[in-house]
Amino acid sequence: METKEEEVEELAKKFALPVDSEHKSTVFRLFSVAAPHMRCFHLSWFSFFACFVSTFAAPPLLPVIRDNLGLSATDIGNAGIASVSGAVFARLAMGTACDLVGPRLASASLILLTTPAVFFTSAVASPSSYLLVRFFTGFSLASFVSTQYWMSSMFTAAKVGTANGIAGGWGNLGGGATQIIMPFLYSLIRKTGPTSYVAWRVAFFVPGLVQAFSAIAVLAFGQDMPDGNFKRLEKSGEKHKDSFANVFSAGAKNYRGWILAITYGYCFGVELTIDNIIAQYFYDRFDVDLHTAGIIAASFGLANLVSRPGGGWMSDVLGRRFGMRGRLWGLWVAQSVGGALCVLLGWLGTRSGPRGSLHSSVVVMLLFSFFVQAACGLTFGVVPFVSRRALGLISGMTGGGGNVGAVVTQLIFFKGSRYSTEMGIALMGVMILCCTLLVALIHFPQWGGMLCGPSEGATEEDYYASEWDSKEKERNYHSASMKFADNSRSERGKRGTVPDKLTPTPTHTHV
């Protein structure tokens, strides 16, 4: 048996960053590329960023594409819905794939499989083919799930909100960056001689190449867990090879995952919706030129540089001070404020005059973007604690819920001419306010919820052990969950009332 000093010395030799008993990093150093923790962080956010750029590369050039392909308002609405609908099931599949084969292989495979759709965009010749390429390109957004799973596997409970928030937020930057990148590429190509109808097609080769490069980098330099890839860990017996049925059962039975899926539909789902409509909205409603509309739209997505990471960081701060109850309250407040600002943004659009409320609308849009994206970060400050056995599936359910929210919202409010765009935005804000109320129903027996404290005698070990049956426990398949239970006691907060369970920390094997 190693002494504590020998254990610390051994870990210092193996890892560049300090780690806990699960070998997850206990620090988050943004500008480090230390393997495996920070290297996987940078691989995850960049690959997701590339997918986001590809998925939303078309909206910034929509006025040109619309004229070239003869797209109607209905065609544009259907394509916007298609771009986010495919990822609904892809995210569920991605979550399960992460649980079974690991985030590295699952992520790289999906990104490479969807890259051809990006290239084929340059060859579309009809509204139907335009819809199809946007549908298949949108599958790549499921890489978000592997990003969150990866960060939850690499960083300890006290830092997981920050890691998830920054990785997801920087990936989502692609939604804003593409509003600048694609018009810039289009203008650059136009200056070399091609017509406008050729230039927009050539521009799509750039996001396609970057997306393919990101997948190759994930395969070459990524690692599933701090101690290695799934295949090696399962072969050596250090990790239990789980079954689809058991993973699915553990995730589907946990009602907290379903609530987070619904509420995420009205923070991330709203973000996806805005990415699809905002450039065209400002172009048509306020009579600004394509370049100006692109800059305004880009500012919404680019807020992810600080907003979603800020939400993840705030979740960790609230968790240290008030435990899981603080994380839940923070999520409810941020998302509710975002909903109110969304209503205000829509109302400003109904004011008379082509440019009268432009400046006010831009300011409100920026505030709205900050709170709704912060809510995304706060959501994934809670997700890693819902289940350990089905972490990927819960992440996939929640992420897929974001896409469902985007599809439902665009079908109801932004398809056809039933509502004006400004009225649709206002009604979308009302939906945010209503759905966010469900956060109050989330309760962890060992930590409590927004309105109620923890259940008497409940412990972290009891909660996470309940996902395994007695035979599995006899074979010690749940040992990783017990390590996490021990490391997650910080979720009691400084004012926690649950007594420490006086059991020794499980021993762990060094590779």
Residue 235 has what pLDDT?
Answer: 87
pLDDT band for 506, please (50, 70, 90 cuts).
very low
Tell me whether residue 416 is exposed, middle or buried, using C-beta atoms within 10 angstroms of its C-beta: 0 to 12, 13 to 18, 19 or more.
exposed
Topology of domain 35-225+249-449, per CATH?
Growth Hormone; Chain: A; (1.20.1250)
pLDDT band for 356, please (50, 70, 90 cuts).
low
Tally of residues, the chain: 511
Q: How many CB atoms lie within 10 A of CB 439?
A: 25
Residues 161-168 have a mean pLDDT of 95
Quick check: 503 pLDDT over 50? no
Q: Which of 58-62, 261-265, 393-397 has the lowest mean pLDDT?
A: 58-62
Task: Report how far apart the first and last C-alpha atoms of the chain are (Å, whole number).
Answer: 15
138 closest CA partner among 97, 175, 101, 184: 175
Residue 59 has what pLDDT?
Answer: 87
Residues 172-187 have a mean pLDDT of 88
- Mean residue pLDDT of the chain comes to 89
Start-end of H helices in 323-448: 324-349, 358-379, 391-413, 421-436
Q: Longest Cα pair distance anywhere in the chain, in angstroms?
A: 77
Which 3 state secondary structure label does DSSP give 19? strand
Residues 364-378 have a mean pLDDT of 96
The answer to whether 154 and 25 have CB atoms below 8 angstroms apart is: yes
How confident is the model over 317-348, as pLDDT tens digits?
Answer: 999 999 999 999 999 999 999 999 999 999 98
Residue 414 has what pLDDT?
Answer: 86
With b meaning 16 or more CB within 10 Å and e meaning fewer, what string describes 328-366?
bbbbbbbbbbbbbbbbbbbbbbeeeeeeebbeebbebbb
Q: What are the two backbone dihedrals, phi and then psi, of residue 109, each rounded to the nearest 5 degrees? A: -65, -45
Q: How many CB atoms lie within 10 A of CB 230?
A: 21
pLDDT band for 306, please (50, 70, 90 cuts).
very high
Spatial distance between the Cα atoms of 128 and 140, rounded to a whole number of angstroms: 20
Spatial distance between the Cα atoms of 438 and 332, rounded to a whole number of angstroms: 9
Q: How many helices (H) and strands (E) does the chain have?
A: 23, 2
